[in-house]
Chain A
Amino acid sequence: MNTKNSINYLLHLADNALILGHRNSEWCGHGPVLEQDIALSNISLDLIGQARNFYQYAAEMMGGNTTEDSLAYLRDVTEFKNNLLVELPNGDWAQTVLRQFFFSAYQYFLFQELMQSNDRQVADIAEKSLKEVTYHLRWSSEWVIRLGDGTEESNKRMLAATDYLWNYTGELFEAAAYELQAAGNGITINQAGIKQQWEVKVKAVLAQATIEMPKNEWMHAGGKQGQHTEHLGYILAEMQFLQRAYPNAIW
């Protein structure tokens, strides 16, 4: 069994959750209304919880001095394996909720697959997370529809968000080499199946939001292999500052 591939895949799952959780947390104290500010902060908390579970498992496989904290705070940009979608700036509320919708719909189908994994720990994390993702998917779907099918202004913004984010969705379904090879370790994923279910869900919600689903054209990629946009460096600079400036600081 080649654990390297499993570790890389776990890091990919964890990085996606951590970076999106961190991005969403930037809204804390800035949400359009208090209740929605709290909602997005709750979603951030769930995502960071998922990240911790995946990091803990990866750290256990890696052994030595590796911990969930060293994985989150002491790796550099090129070592992060998250999708580009999650590191993009928040933009306005439309862009934030649409990104959450694209991502939650992806996790919703992905975790149903991972629950069948022969790797018991991965299956358990997926089972637990899926219950929370169900709430995220519902919340974000409703916001996409509310804005898309809302006022002229909100519709314009949801259209702009769709234009901006769409070309980052393809990467979710492009398996990295370690992802395919992790299948040999019992972490089996049916990428094509997830993509198909995702497209059905997205199309239905966008239709209700009166937004035409964009055509599948050229897509950005590279995040899973550590090739990121310039935005990730800024996130890490802020998130990792304390541990870099004061190694092993605790409080």
Chain B
Amino acid sequence: MTNKFEHIADYSADALKKSILDMLETVTDPEIPVLSIIDLGIVRDLVISPSPVNMHPTLEIVVTPTYTGCPAMDTIKMNIRLVLLQAGFKNISIKQALSPAWTTDWMSEKGKDKLRAYGIAPPQYKQAVCTPDIFQEEEAIQCPLCKSYHTATVSQFGSTACKALYRCLDCKEPFDYFKCH
């Protein structure tokens, strides 16, 4: 991929943007390596400004954190920079936007399928429990292993900030649920 964009002027604006998005598709979440940052919906904007001085346009990538304290964000930003540097871009600026706040609604359908295949229950289509009401009726989360809906919450907080811990009452296996947010 080195110096892929040496002849940057040969690319139309749309083609360039598509190529860059394809590259970002190769940057994955270090905690859930099956998901790309595009699947996760954390890349919010990509602005390509032509540079009058040299052939290297300025890239501004706006990302949003899934959770404010997510330690994966620093790694993700570093990997975005790395992949673009390897492709020959020199002027890269990665900005963070907090608003609108990230939501699991932004996760791609492709991403949800990948999660399920990886053994993590994907977020529900409709958010149900993002309120402070106590002892809410539990959502019926499908077990990613045996596909049963006969499951129970173990904890609203799991192995990473974005997941909750469930167990399947049929196949008895514990599993992670990428919780609605």
Complex contacts, B98 vs chain A, CB 8 Å: 53, 124-125, 127-128
Specify which of A36, A48, A138 is in contact with B134 (CB 8 Å cutoff): A138
Report Cα–Cα, A43/B156, bound state, in Å. Answer: 11
Selecting from A139-147, A172-180, A181-189, A231-239, the interface stretch reads A139-147
For chain B, what secondary structure do more than half of its interface residues adopt (helix, strand, loop), or is it mixed? loop
* B181 near A131: Cβ-Cβ < 8 Å: yes
B67 touches A46 (CB 8 A): yes
With A131-B181, A142-B135 given, is the CB distance from A38 to B99 under 8 Å? no
Q: Main secondary structure on chain A at its contact with chain B?
A: helix
Q: How far is the CB of B81 from chain A (nearest CB, A)?
A: 18
Q: Is B157 a contact of A42 with CB atoms below 8 Å? A: yes
Q: In the complex the two chains form, what is the Cα distance from A95 to B159 in whole Å?
A: 25
For the complex, give the distance between the alpha carbons of A128 and B98 in Å.
6
Contact check, A134 vs B69: say whether CB atoms are below 8 A apart.
no
Q: How far is the CB of A69 from chain B (nearest CB, A)?
A: 13
A127:B100 contact, CB within 8 angstroms: yes
Name the B residues within 8 Å of A47 (CB-CB): 69
For residue B75, CB closer than 8 A to chain A, the reply is: no
Q: Which of A53, A135, A138 contacts B68 (CB 8 A)?
A: A53
Chain B residues positioned under 8 Å from A145 (CB to CB) = 134-135
Cβ contacts B114-141/A at 8 Å (1 or 0 each): 0000000000000000111111100000
Please state if A39 and B156 are interface contacts (CB–CB under 8 Å). Answer: yes
Q: Is B165 an interface residue (CB 8 A)?
A: yes
B:76-112 near A, CB below 8 Å: 97-102
Contacts of B130 in A (CB 8 A): 131, 134
Residue of A42, A132, A142 ringed by the most chain B CB atoms within 10 A: A42
Partner of A50, one of B68, B155, B157: B68
Interface size band for B? 20 to 34
Instruction: Identify which of B68, B69, B156, B159 contacts A139 (C-beta below 8 A).
Output: B156
Q: Known contacts being A38-B157, A39-B155, A39-B156, is A142 close to B68, with CB within 8 Å?
A: no
Map CB proximity to B onto A104-116 as digits: 1 under 8 Å, 0 otherwise: 0000100000000
User: In the assembled complex, how far is the CB of residue B68 from the closest CB belonging to chain A, in whole angstroms?
Assistant: 3
B165 touches A35 (CB 8 A): yes
Mark contacts of A121-161 with chain B using CB atoms, 8 A cut-off: 1 yes-contact digit, 0 otherwise: 00111011111101101110110010000000000000000
Q: Is A226 an interface residue (CB 8 A)?
A: no
Contact B99–A135 (Cβ < 8 Å): no
How far does the alpha carbon of A208 sit from the alpha carbon of B130 in the complex, in Å? 21
Of A49, A108, A123, A124, which one neighbours B69 at CB under 8 angstroms? Answer: A49
How far does the alpha carbon of A134 sit from the alpha carbon of B154 in the complex, in Å?
18
Closest to A34 in B: B155
Interface membership of A202, Cβ < 8 A: no
* Chain B residues, Cβ within 8 Å of A36: 155
**B49 smallest CB distance to A (angstroms):** 23
Collect the chain B residues with CB atoms within 8 Å of residue A108's CB. Answer: 132
Chain B residues near A132 (CB, 8 Å)? Answer: 67-68, 161
A-B contact pairs, 22 of them (CB 8 A): A38-B165, A39-B157, A44-B69, A45-B70, A49-B68, A49-B69, A50-B69, A53-B68, A123-B99, A124-B99, A125-B68, A127-B99, A128-B98, A130-B101, A131-B101, A134-B130, A135-B157, A138-B132, A139-B156, A139-B157, A205-B134, A208-B134
Extra inter-chain contacts (10) besides given A53-B68, A53-B98, A123-B99, CB under 8 Å: A38-B165, A42-B158, A49-B67, A52-B69, A128-B101, A131-B101, A131-B181, A134-B131, A137-B132, A205-B134
Nearest 8 Cβ contacts at the A-B interface: A49-B69, A49-B68, A39-B157, A45-B69, A124-B99, A35-B155, A124-B98, A42-B157
